[in-house]
Structure 1
Amino acid sequence: MKAATVSLCRANSYDDLVLRNALIQVLEPLGGISAFVKPGSRVLLKPNLLTGARPQKECVTRPEIVRCVAQLVLEAGGKPFLGDGPAFGSARGVAVANGYQPLLEELNLPVVEFSGKRYQTVSDTFNHLLLSKEAMEADVTINLPKVKSHVQLTMTLGVKNLFGCVPGKMKAWWHMEAGKDSGRFGEMLVETARAIAPDLTILDGIIGHEGKGPSGGEPRFLGILGAADNVFALDRAFLEILQVDPATVPTAAAASRLNLYPATVDFPLLTPTELQVSDWKLPEALVPIDFGMPRVIKSTFRHFYIRFIKEPLALYGRS
């Protein structure tokens, strides 16, 4: 496997100008945004839109990140659109609940729902792994995850964020089908990432979410941005920064078993050692990954209630 470049830099603020300069800095060793985005390219921006229920807890990718990246894409001549498949509700509903509405209007940024009507089988190993056609057909995919601890998977970074490209309630089905074996579940997530093959991953570590993540923990300032065209190498670098054993993270362990880590990784700006955090909080205890059928049914009803009743009523109230 060819050598990978992982670009890491300090980034201390979501202020527009400071953040823009940090993004330009972290992308420069990779050739800048124009190395990935060509004029006319349809560019999927894939943030972590986990939930609309805890907007102050740093559970989702900040709208400031998406706004700055979308602006860079537009300046390169690309056509950005936002897409995700939240566990509960719609991508637009979760985005609006987390403060995305101004940037959606300012940049006229379309939001694409990864609906359950348009599946595409993409994996030989998991031949019933079905991913969103909208995501698969983008000309360019920019993965925009958040640094978070995770009560089921220890950590969620770039690879896990791409699970959002599994549409609708298929995610709950995969928890039921593969969740009894954390190794198999981790391999499924890795196969998802390999199939989506993001052209670029920009990892938001300015403020992370530690402890009982992905939503029940607390914000933690880290002041770090990372970028790479190899999502596996970038995840591994952040595990080193946070001093988390890769063997305890199913996605990292699966990537290692499948020999997806490059033999050589170049760090042109800062190294993980220079950015190390000594006291990052992981979950006190992990909970099972697998979902039983009652939980899948309950989760499905909750998803449809939020998406088709709660969100429309909230939007109607704002109109």
Structure 2
Amino acid sequence: MDFISPDQTSKVPTFVHQKLQFETWRRRLGAGRKGGGKGWIYGRGKSLYPTRNRIPTRTKMILHHQKAQSYEPLALIDAMEAGLGAFGGLAKVLDGRQSVLLKPNFVTIRPKEAEVCTRPEVILALLDLLLDLGVKVAIGESPGFGSTEGAIEALGLTQALQHRAVPFFTFTQVRYYRTRIPKFPVLAIAKELSDYDGTINLPKVKTHCQTGFSGAVKNLYGCVPGKRKAIRHMTCLGDEVAFVQMILANAKEAGAFFHLADGIRCLHNHGPTSGDPHELHSLLFCEDGATLDWGLCGRIGLDPLSTLQFQLSGPPPVYVSSGEPIEPDPSFLHAAKVPVFFHPLRVARSIARQAWTKAKESVQ
């Protein structure tokens, strides 16, 4: 393992990196104010419900890049154990947690070959490792379209989860927390997150037509129940800064303690719900979502500081690079940019379609 700083990954000039690094830590520490001061620029308010996900105490964060050629189960288990080994093994990652919620990317109902959702093979591989340790596991998500149950059925996961007695559900309950984002002073997040000792985030590596890429931070937007996600697209009125501040505040509040990105086959050219499958052969592991996203950007050939996410948050702290070198894939194609605003009619159609889908599922 080599000690590297984020500027080596993105080739950001050293003086720029140092300034951003200083600003990042100044915001985290609240410039010496009691109680953390203002905190992050995207979520300065105090949560009404503190998260149960503990922050790792390691001096330097580890970002592990594991090459994996296919989703063949035995090879995938080996790759996953190798990746987790960089952190001392899964038991050490869990740090005593007895119940874990898995948060995959089930943005919409698609077959696994479309590479829109986290692959079932990745979910099952991690699931079996957790069950072997006697951990209580469940799967929770709030798809943008459809339901968790519908997505799991389309991915061919239903029988495997029933055989393992692993519950899965769509987030429906909410709790609220305050922020200092003018357009989003109070936000809702899934209350079900606090029913477990911690959350493991399982994003799918994808290009994204609004945010540039979909990674760990963006995937936790699926912790917002129901059509609130679409409504926030509408109420931000095209203010991309406010929208990304909200995405960052949401990820902080979700507080996942570990992140594993599925990039063996990813989605490029257009995303996040349509596009072309692409062989990337990568699994990324990290205890910090922003650090994982920084490495993910390097892998898909995207300058992280060209994205609003990192322009607002700054680079992650210095981290330890483990596993295969993160080299950009020149054949990865990025989506053309579109506005974050959703027209009210689009939101209304989406709500109606969701109600129709739920009605059909209840009849079946």
TM-score (norm 2): 0.80
Distance 1:162 1:269 in 2: 25
- Paired residues of 2:177 and 2:187 also in contact (CA < 8 A): yes
Distance 1:192 1:48 in 2: 16
CA offsets per residue over residues 120-162 of structure 1, 9 Å max, x none? Answer: 1124234321000002332111000000011111110111100
| Aligned 1:212-231 pairs, distance under 5 A | 212-231=270-289
Distance 1:60 1:136 in 2: 24
Q: Which residue of 1 is the match for residue 252 of structure 2?
A: 194
Aligned length: 304
CA offsets per residue over residues 271-311 of structure 1, 9 Å max, x none? Answer: 32xx321121001x2221111222211111111111222x3
Q: Which residue of 2 is the match for residue 261 of structure 1?
A: 316
Distance 2:95 2:359 in 1: 37
- Paired residues of 1:150 and 1:214 also in contact (CA < 8 A): yes
- Paired residues of 1:88 and 1:307 also in contact (CA < 8 A): no
Structure 1 residue matching 2:64: 3-state secondary structure? strand
Q: Which residue of 2 is the match for residue 141 of structure 1?
A: 199
Greater Rg over alpha carbons, structure: 2
Structure 2 residue matching 1:30: 3-state secondary structure? coil
The answer as to 2:82 corresponding to 1:31 is no
The answer as to 2:105 corresponding to 1:48 is yes
Distance 2:273 2:362 in 1: 23
Q: Which residue of 2 is the match for residue 207 of structure 1?
A: 265
Correspondence for 2:125 among 68, 87, 101: 68
How far residue 34 of structure 1 moved from its aligned partner, in angstroms, is 0.7
How far residue 55 of structure 1 moved from its aligned partner, in angstroms, is 4.1
Correspondence for 1:183 among 229, 233, 241: 241
Q: Identity percentage over the alignment?
A: 30
| Aligned 1:1-319 pairs, distance under 5 A | 2-37=59-94, 41-115=98-172, 118-125=173-180, 126-178=184-236, 180-256=238-314, 261-262=316-317, 264-272=318-326, 275-283=327-335, 285-309=336-360, 311-312=361-362, 316=364
Distance 1:11 1:171 in 2: 33
How far residue 200 of structure 1 moved from its aligned partner, in angstroms, is 0.4
- Paired residues of 1:148 and 1:208 also in contact (CA < 8 A): yes
How far residue 112 of structure 1 moved from its aligned partner, in angstroms, is 2.3
Runs (5+) with no aligned partner, structure 2: 1-24, 26-58
Distance 1:206 1:179 in 2: 36
TM-score (norm 1): 0.90
How far residue 312 of structure 1 moved from its aligned partner, in angstroms, is 4.1
**Letter in structure 1 aligned against 2:94:** V
Runs (5+) with no aligned partner, structure 1: none
Structure 1 residue matching 2:225: 3-state secondary structure? coil
Distance 2:196 2:230 in 1: 25
Structure 1 residue matching 2:114: 3-state secondary structure? coil
State the superposition RMSD in angstroms: 1.7
Distance 1:270 1:55 in 2: 26
Extract structure 1 runs of 4+ deviating beyond 6 A.
Answer: none
